[in-house]
Each structure stands twice: as C-alpha cells, then as structure tokens.
Structure 1
Amino acid sequence: MTSKGFIFMDIDRAQPPTGPKKDPVESLGADMCPAGLPTVTVQMLRDPDTLRRMREAGAVHHVNMGGREPGWILTRHDAAAKALVDPRLRGEPPRAWPSRTGPQEVTDEEDLFFLPDDVHARLRRMISRQLTPRRVAALTARIQREADRLLDAVAPAETVDFIASFARPFPVAVLCELLGVPETGRGHIRDYVYGWIAEGGEATPVTKSAGLAMTEYLESLIARRWTRPGDDLISAMAQADGASRTDVLSAVRLLLIAGHRPVTRLLTDGVAMLLARPGLWRHLDPARVETTVEELLRVVTPTSLSSRYVKADIEIDGVVLPEGGGVHCALGAVNRDPARFRDPDAFDPARPDNPHLAFGLGHKHCLGAALARVEARTAIATLARRFPRMRLARDRQPRPDRPGARRMPVILDPSPTPAP
C-alpha cells in the first residue's frame, strides 16, 4: 500500500523469455494459415502473455485474423495512436457491400461495425449529436436507480452469479433507459442482445427469430416516436433534420450491440480482479472511483481490437502496409506498453498519467465512451458502498442462467459465521 492507495503488481505477468530472441511465429506457437501467416485468435488477443511477446517482437505483425483474412496487427502504443488518427486509414473493408433485398432481411451485426464511410459517418453524426454529455448527465439518476434495482433483487448472503444478476443486465437496462424502451418491450431487447455477449471468447449467435422480433419491435417503437416524441434518444434522433426510419433503426441496433458487451466485460473482469486481491476491495476509495475505473479500463481493456483499412500504401514503424490491407490495433498490448506506462502490469488506481486506448481513438472512437464511464463508476461505487465485504465464491457454483454461460459466483454480503 502506498500513501496514495493500493498498487498490486504482476497482473497476469509472465516471466520474460530466456535465450536468444525467437521469431514471433515460433514464440507464439500460432497455427499457420495456407498463406504462411500465423493465425491470431480471439483468445490470443485476450492473453496478456501472448500480447507481451507480440509487442516485444515488434510493433507491426503480418498475420491472419482468426482464419478469416490477412491483416496487420499493431502492438505498441505509439504506433497504434498514430494509426488510429491517420486519415489514410478508413473504417470499412475493401469489399463489395452485400445488398439487402427482402423486407425481412437484417444487416449482419458485424456489418454494422464496418459500414461504408458515408453510411458510417451519417450514423455516427446522428448518434453523436444527440448522445451529448448533457444527455448522459441527465441519465445519471436513472443509471443509479437501475443499479440499485438489480442489486435489491439479489439475496446478499447467498451465492449468486454476478454476471447473470448484474454485469449483463445492468448495461442493457441502461441502454433501454437511454433509448426510451418501456418495460413491456425490454424482453425483446434482452433476448436479442444477450445472444451477442461473448462467452469464453466466442459470441453466441442470436437466433433469427429473436433478431427479427427485436427489429419489428424497434420499428414499431420508432414509428410511435416519430409522431409522439419523448425525451429519449430514439425521439431525438427521429426529430433530427434528414433522419430516416431506416437510419434510426441502424443507429439503435449499433448502440445495442456495441454498447453492452464492453461494460459487461469491464464489470466482470474488473470486479473479479479487485476481489481476488485481499484487502483491495475493502479499501476501495470512493473518492477515487474515476481513476480506479480508468485503470480498470487500461488493465482489462474490454474491447480487443480497433480496426482500420488502408486507403493507400502507408508506412508504419518502418513497415509498408499495402492498399486494402487491414490494420488492427491490439488494444490489450497497447495498453500495457512499457514505453508508455510505468509498471504496465501493475494495477495503480492512483496512476497520474493514463492515456489508455480502451475506447479507441480518431474517427471511430467509441461513441458511448462517456456513458460507459458513468455506468462503470456508478456500478463500482455502488457495489463498494453497499457490499464492502463482497467476495468471490469459487467453492460454490450457482446454476447458470443459460447453457454454456460463463459464471462468476460471488457472495455480496457474507455473514461472519455462515451457517453450516
């Protein structure tokens, strides 16, 4: 413990490699794709040891992304920060965009993240002009209400799944408050977005019926707000000049998909990390919740990649990247770069200089960053205030809320003398 607060070392720290420096492919032990490139998986992008070895081997690596396409991974802070703001890099992949013909067809979720520049810019403007700091600030009381409502429903002395009872439903409830989705319609939203929560590094595909049901519900909700607006984000976007119902629907779906997973992972992994260190949770300083959340964002890094595509040949850290190639910033590696962060594997809630890239940077930075910060601060502060003795319960396993779901058993308020 320091005079400024707790610092615990060696978060996921691996021993440095011994002997002569190895080829990055050999040191990673990665499978090779038919083109002779190492295949980088989702699991590798979330493994601090793998990311450290990639960063030590260089700032730029030519790889195959999950067996789907070749690309370039950036692993150092300076290279990533420059690339993310470089106008020569664009947001969408260089491929023909699929046409959607049938009335029941819905754009694939991954397509929403790689829209053509003009469509992407139009949706971002629609969202950013209405998702203002003032709107987020006005939502603070309702965010607190949702946090308390969920925690009130949990039996404090029993073993519960923190993910199912809080980390997953909390950001979804906040998004529904933001969008103005009434309680009667939230079942459609939950059925849909829960299917896109990453489980063990993989996303569980949402069913077609759940996707269409939610889309039909949102279309009806948007139609009502078009003529009878309220004080919610859907109404604000619907009343904007030049807005179309199709664009509002795409913007809402983009927010739903992109807006809940990072917060769920931040709360899950962040709270687990805080509870795993004896004394850290009990001595969490409510006055330092903002810097604590920023350090959690750096260490947990809930989003693995921030991606761009090359408009014209570009040189990054001495490597020429050809036109059309994908450039993927490995944010978990970038946020632990020792060239930018002192003691990068240490968790320091009092870290004075913390320019992490957890929300990306540049024209595709996270639109909901301000909202995510308020959610995380509210959640951490509320949990610490209400349940200072909260602990992990690895010895007990609550029943998962759905098959294959990741679980995090906790006891919010263990009694001093638990019953046998």
Structure 2
Amino acid sequence: MVIQYGITGTTAKGIAASVERGVTEGALAPEAALPPVRRLADELGVSPGTVATAYKELRRRGIVVTRGRGGTVVAPVPAVASRRPPRVPEGLRDLAGGHPDPALLPGLVPPSRLSPGVRSHRSAPRLARLEEAVRGWLGPDGVPVEHVTFAHGALDLIGRLLSVELRPGDAVAVEDPGYHHLLDLVPALGLRTVPVAVDDEGMRPDALRTALRAGVRAVVCSPRAQNPYGGCFSAARRDDLAGLLREEPDVLVVEDDHASWVTDTPLRSLAVAGLARWVHVRSVSKFLGTDLRWAAAACDPVTLARHDGLLLLTSGWVSHLLQETVYGLMTDVDTRALMARARAAYVLRRETLAGELARNGIASHGASGMNLWVPVRDESAVVNGLRSYGWWVAAGARFRLSAGPGVRITTAGLEPADAARLASDFAAVLGESEATYGG
C-alpha cells in the first residue's frame, strides 16, 4: 500500500517526527510503504544519509520495519500508541471488550481516614498492612513472598521492568495469540517481539525453546486465564517450561496472573521453579474494579531493587488512597463472597457457550478465564456477519503475530440463556461465509 501522507522535515529528527505523527494520527496505516530513501531525500531537499538516519531511528523504535526489496513500511503493530478497539456500534450486544460483568464487581468506597494535604511516601511507599495481606494472598499458592512490591497495574510493572532490564533492539518472548496491549507495549519500548505459540495449557515448550535459542532477554506469560486463548498451565507444562528457563538464568520471566480470584483453575506458577530472575504479578481490575489501577508483585531481590529504583524516580509510590481502597476490599468478607459467586458465574457462562458452539460443530478454546477463542478462516466475514445478528465480537488480528485467524468472545456478561442463540447465529454466519468466500 503506497502512502498519500506528505512527510516533512529537513533533519533526521524532523523527518522521523513527521512519520511518527502520521502513524499516531492514523494517516499512515500499518503496512503503508514509505518512499525509498533517495526519492524522499530529493523531495525534501536533504541528503540520502539524513533520510537513512531517520528511517534507522524509526526502525529502532519499532515504528517501521524494513523488508528487503519490499522497502520500508509502517510496522503491523504501530509502536507509538496502543491500538484502540473499534467503537461498538449502537444497538449491538458487546462481547468484544474483555471486561468483567459490572454486576459482579464490588462497590468502591474511597477511604476517609487519609486527609488531603502535602505528603511524601517515598520512604515508606507500601502500606504495611496491605503488604502483609498480599503475602497472605500469594503465599498459599506457593509463590515465594519474601520480596513484594506494588505498581499501577500489571502493564505498568511490566513496562517498567522491560525498560530497565533490556536495551533497544532486545527481544521479548510473548504469547501468540496474546494480550494486545502487551503486543503494543513491547515495540513501543524499542524492543522486538518474538511470538511463542500457545495451546490449552499455555505456552508451548517447543515454541519457547525456539524463542530462547533466538536470544530473547525476557519472557512474558500467563499461568492461567490466558488472554485471549484461555490456556492454563498444567503441572507437567509448568515443569517443562521451567526446565527450559532454568537453562537461561539471565532471562527475566514475567508471570501475569490477572484473573486470580475469579478463575477456576489452580495456580501452577513458574515462581516455585527455582528460576534466577522472575516476577509474579497480580492485578485486581478484572474482579475488584476496572478503575483500581493497582497490582502486587513478588519477585527475586534483584528485580525488586531495579523496579523500585525506577519507580522511586518516576511516580515515587502508588497512591496510599488507592492502597487503602484495595486493602479494604481484599479483607472484606462480603467482597470475598461476591468473588466466589463471580468465579462460579464466569465458569458457567464460558463453559455453556463452549458447549453450545461444539453442538453446532464449532471448535473453541477457553480452558479458563473470561473469553473464548474461536478459530475462523475469515475474521472480517465473521465479525461483520455476527454484527448483522446483533452481536459484536473482537477480530483476532489485534491479538496475534504469527498465529492463525480467529475471533475472541468475552463470555463474562453472557447469560447461559443467550448462549444457544449466539452459537446458532455463529453457525449461520460460518455457512454464509463459506457460500460467499468458498470456505
């Protein structure tokens, strides 16, 4: 695809900024071809070396990629901003967002004990009582809890660690299909993504072995409720992955357990496997509230020092008002009872839809979590077809690098009574798609 956007600038920095601005504003779409170096140099009245330097900087930051004779194109996953999902058309049932059911979230009441005013918590960034509650939360699952820390959500912690541990151009192994915001974050940090295929038990050992041999410096994975595929580690899979990772003691392993309280599968953590560099992070937005941008993490001492050192230089600490709110919910008996009801509801809704799809001859994946991944031949045909029946699901392109096409259906708010109709409509759409596109 040839671009129509007019690149400007007389310096390498200015040219790079112009291209980045075009990507940010959507004028330069993914896969858009940039002009050859010499042609753009002639158009702008600068030397070819100036344009080549600009393109080199854009490649380093993951905004563009070079494909040999195919030239330089905008990266398939733009690095300057996370891709926002399409707006849900009016009147459609939204099963694309990946969000929990609002009816199964507790009410948020900010604490009143902390008065407003000027204060610094840099010397004591974590509430001691919340720190102990976190140890009581992680410890029973076997996660070592000698060293714990807090962050503004899982991605905040992952981004901080990758930025301090790795250097531009280093490679990070990520699940494929995987969490789309992570797939955007890695290149935004100037790093390279290396896809690792997943199945119903999480990362596949053969794919991880290939990634490790390629020289990845970090691995980010989900032990359960993997998004979007739904995989969860079995004990055997955890042990196989751990065996590979123990042979690479310099590789940082980040384990994201984002749906801990509302997933029905036990945690089989890599944190218990004797790895040299590791962090287990748990966020709460999927079950305590989407506005609670807080996460707890347990990790090795080196990782703790590097994370907290950079946190100290940036935001300094996680708001104590936020910490008090989280602590109140985590220790509230009624909230824990609600979490148990939410867990049972999410299991029932996911399994009901999976069963209805299977009855219509449609295979799906979702061993745990709030989503189902349904492999399809043509994502657009399925998304648009289901739209005509009143459903809105997520096209899989946002979640995958090398994996085959599919759609993600969020089942968290789908009552079992609606599952049969959705599955029937899905089967009808697949039939229409085959008739239109020849299968």
- TM-score with structure 1 length normalisation? 0.27
Higher RCO, 1 or 2 (CA under 8 Å, sep at least 6)?
1
Larger radius of gyration: 2
- TM-score with structure 2 length normalisation? 0.26
